[in-house]
Amino acid sequence: MPAPLKGQRQEQKLDPTSLSFPRIQTTQVSSYDGSAKFVVELWDGHLIEMVLMPEKTRTTLCLSSQVGCARGCRFCNTARLKLVRNLTLAEFSAQIELSHKWMESNRVWAERWRVTSKVTNLVFMGMGEPLDNFDVLTKFLPVAMDQKGFCIAQKNICVSTVGRVDHLYKLHELYPRLPVAISLHAGQSSLRKKLMPIEHEYSLPEIAEFIQMKVLNHRRDPRLLIQVLLMQGVNNLEKHANELLDFLKSTGLPQDRFKKIKINLIPFNSFGESNFVEPDSESVLAFRHTLAQAGLRVMVRYSKGQDIAGACGQLALK
C-alpha cells in the first residue's frame, strides 16, 4: 500500500464480514444530452458519483477512483470533500456492473439516445485522483480490457491526472499505448500554483519532460491529451493562451511531433460554492485560435451533464 499524502487519512481497512455490493442510491438523467449521474453507496456507507454518457458511437462511463480527493484544486467541487479513502478493485468493477444493470432495466433510455446497453469507453475523470490510487488502478486495467472481463479496448480507456508525474512514467511503462489526459489549466507556474497545489510537488518542467517522452515514443498517435479548464478573468485571456503555447514549446519537440499534441479547452462549469465563473464564448474562441495558429490540434469540449451537476469539476454528491 503506498504511503499516504501529507495530511491525508490512512487507508481504511476492509472488514470482510461487513461487505455488501455497492448500490445506486440516486439517479439523475439530463434532459439535454441523456447523461445519467449516479450517487453510489459503497459497502461502508460512503458515497461516490459516476456519470454515464451516451454518444453517437459509444457509451462512456466516467468513473471515480477515490471517495473525495486530496489534491485541493481550487476550481473543483470534489476537492471540498477532502479525501476519505481509495476505492477497492471490487468498487472499480462495481461501477461498470451497476451501469450495465441500470441500462438493461432502462431500455427506453438506450433507445432514446440510440446507444448499446454496454459500456464501451471508460474515462477516469470522476471523483479523486486516479494516480493516487495507482496500485488498484493498475490491477483493474487488465480486468477492464480482458475478453473475460469487461472487454473494453485499451484505446477506449483514458486516465486523467492533475499531473502526478512519477506515476505517469510507471503507467507508461505498463501500458505505453493507454490514452492519458493531463489537467494543466495554466502554462505559467505561479498561476498554476494558485489553482492547483500539485504544482508545488510536480512542476510544469517535469510535466514537459513527460510530454516530450510520450510524444517521441509514439510516431503516429501518442494518445496524449492536455486539458485546460477556462475561467473568466483567471486563465482565459490571450496572454494565458500564449503562456500555454510557450510551455508546450518548452518540450523541445520538432514541429512535426509538436503537432501531435491534442488540447481540450473546457469552459468552466459553475457550481454554487465557487468564486469562478464561465468564460465568455469570444475569449474561448480566441484562445483556441491562438493555439491552432501554432499548428496544435485544439477542441472546445462542452461537458455533458451540466444540468444535473455531472460535468467536469461538479461532482460533489449532489
Biggest CA–CA distance in the chain, Å, is: 60
Quick one: CA torsion of 99, 102, 106, 107, rounded to 10 degrees? 50
Q: Which residue in 216, 191, 189, 186 sits closest to 203, CA to CA?
A: 189
CB count within 10 Å of CB 298 equals 21
- In the set 11, 49, 55, 158, the catalytic residue is 49
Q: Is the distance from CB of 187 to CB of 240 less than 8 angstroms?
A: yes
Question: What is the SS3 assignment for 264?
Answer: strand
Q: Decide if 312 is catalytic.
A: yes
Specify whether 278 is catalytic: no
Question: What is the dihedral sign for C-alpha 143, 147, 149, 152?
Answer: positive
From residue 286, give the alpha-carbon distance in Å to each of 84, 189, 215, 217, 302: 40, 22, 26, 32, 16
Catalytic hit among 69, 76, 158, 312:
312
Q: Give CA–CA dist 193/171, Å, rounded.
A: 25
Residues annotated as part of the active site:
49, 312
